[in-house]
Amino acid sequence: MMTVDQIINAFKSGEKSAEEITRGFLDVISQKNPEINAFVEVFETGSLARAKELDQKRARGEKLGALAGVPVAIKDNILFKDHKATCCSKMLENYVASYTSTVVEKLLAADAVIIGRTNMDEFAMGSTNQTSVYGPVKNPVDVTRVPGGSSGGSAAAVAAGMVPLALGTDTGGSVRQPAGFCGVVGIKPGYGRISRYGVIAFASSADQVGVLAANVKDAALALEVLAGKDVHDSTSLEAPVPAYAQLFSRDLKGVKVGLPKGFLDGLADDIKQKMDEAAAQLQKQGAELVEVDVPHAKYAAPCYYIITSAEASSNLGRYDGIRYGYADEASADLNSYYENSRAPFGLEVKKRIIIGTFALTSKNYEECFLKAMKVRELIRDDFKKAFEKVDVLLTPTSPTTAFKLGQHDEDPLALYLADLYTCQGNIGGLAGVSVPFGKDKDGLPVGVQFYGPILQEEKILNVAYHLEKGL
């Protein structure tokens, strides 16, 4: 597959037309998607029309954008005007976006081609991509295994070569975990780096748009286009956006990589070995390894499930048949109207709403929600102190590699625990990137994760770039 860099060069130099490039990826999608199920809709007509427009723009000699001619897939919870956005839920099966999200506006302004929308766990709640109303996505590395989630469709699409770049969203690891499982790069910038305007909300204090790409440089090029303050999102940050892909250093001399104490306890031997190898390689490239203490990070997962479920119970209140979602016109009274209109939610979504509602009841508020919020403060303090000593932290992306479809269906807690390393980044608001680093004993990709402070994505991209380069 051509990299983003190669596509831009081929298009700008006239070696290939945008139409040729787009048709090439559409062909791969038509060959591979029936088995992988990464795309829920391909904008064939629209993407080809857009590609032809770009060819004309080039022919007129007009200046071309930073992602000129690059086909990009978007997760099914990101709005693109006049296109469906269903969150892979029956609740929104007929919803057509009435406006375009800021991230898609930015991609279009950079002359990218939006090629389709990708499969995901319903309302981004899940880490297997099995809760989608469109059926599960299969991991292109081994189709008997999950691609991870919730941005499993985006990760699988990139891994299968169906698209060079895809957008996902990450509330507890939904970009980085599938990136790790599928052997691609996934970056979730720090909270506020990318606008959430036009992204369907799950848990507003943790949701972030992220990028899935075949390599670190491609992810950096996309992040540069997407990052920045947006007047439509008050949580987006006013700060200059660096040219990330031009900031890769020659080596890692002077870079301090933090190894959090106890993070590798209980890991499978082969993943632990890959982590040791990654640390050794970084050291060989000039980095200094420093052990750091983040004592409360182990509590991130229970905090995450309480806080995000509480926020989801509020955010998903809008699907009541009046404001959004399915409307059951046949109901006899108002209560039945609400209950019937909210019936299309799937089992996992209903469960999270119930968890959140339960945690917010007056009986449980203090013990559950307030406690989780306070522990979140301690976790954030731990990371803040750690970043006073080091530039980045090195962790596994997930405790395991991709598991079999259906393997944890009877034990959701096992799935929740699998988010341990990724949800720390959302609870702390950190920037995080997962980069592939070799294979486990079964030949499955192992993901290595770097965390960095908010607004310092260039640090994690730089270290990830060197790790990738050293392979």
- The rounded distance, in Å, linking the Cα atoms of 259 and 263 is 8
75 is catalytic: yes
Nearest to 432 by CA among 170, 192, 235, 243: 170
User: Could you tell me the smallest distance in angstroms from the CB atom of residue 18 to another protein?
Assistant: 36
Tokens of 306: 């309480």
Contacts of 72 (CB under 8 A, 6+ apart): 107, 112, 113, 114, 115, 163, 164, 165, 166, 167, 222
Nearest to 375 by CA among 467, 445, 300: 300
The torsion angle over the Cα atoms of residues 299, 300, 301 and 303, rounded to 10 degrees, is 90
Q: Any bridge partners for residue 257, and if so which?
A: 289, 392
314 is catalytic: no
Q: What are the distances in angstroms from CA 397 to CA 128, 136, 145, 204, 466?
A: 15, 22, 17, 22, 17
8 A C-beta contact, residue 115 and residue 42: yes
- The rounded distance, in Å, linking the Cα atoms of 394 and 261 is 11
8 A C-beta contact, residue 25 and residue 163: yes
Q: Give contact residues for another protein (rule: CB under 8 A).
A: 191-192, 205, 235-239, 296, 299, 302-303, 305-306, 313, 317, 320, 335, 338-340, 342-343, 345, 347, 350-351, 353-355, 357-358, 361-362, 367-368, 371-375, 377-378, 380, 412-413, 416, 429, 454-455
Nearest to 428 by CA among 310, 272, 256, 307: 307
- The rounded distance, in Å, linking the Cα atoms of 186 and 373 is 27
Nearest to 418 by CA among 447, 461, 444, 380: 447
**How does strand 392-396 pair with strand 39-42?**
unpaired
- The rounded distance, in Å, linking the Cα atoms of 55 and 188 is 32
Q: Which of 16, 32, 75, 274 is catalytic?
A: 75
- The rounded distance, in Å, linking the Cα atoms of 268 and 440 is 10
Nearer to another protein, 279 or 360 (CB): 360
Q: What are phi and psi of 356, to 5 degrees?
A: -65, -45
351 is catalytic: no
In the three-class reduction of DSSP (H, G, I as helix; E, B as strand; rest coil), residue 289 is classed as strand
Nearest to 180 by CA among 438, 451, 453: 438
Q: Which of 174, 236, 398, 434 is catalytic?
A: 174
Q: Cα 24 vs. chain centroid, distance in angstroms?
A: 25
Q: Which of 17, 101, 132, 150 is catalytic?
A: 150
User: Could you tell me the smallest distance in angstroms from the CB atom of residue 148 to another protein?
Assistant: 21
Residue position matching structure tokens 């983040």:
294
User: Could you tell me the smallest distance in angstroms from the CB atom of residue 49 to another protein?
Assistant: 38
Interior CA angle at 404 toward 158 and 173, to 5°? 50
8 A C-beta contact, residue 202 and residue 450: no
8 A C-beta contact, residue 16 and residue 109: no
- The rounded distance, in Å, linking the Cα atoms of 229 and 227 is 7
Nearer to another protein, 241 or 289 (CB): 241
Q: Which residues are designated catalytic?
A: 75, 150, 174
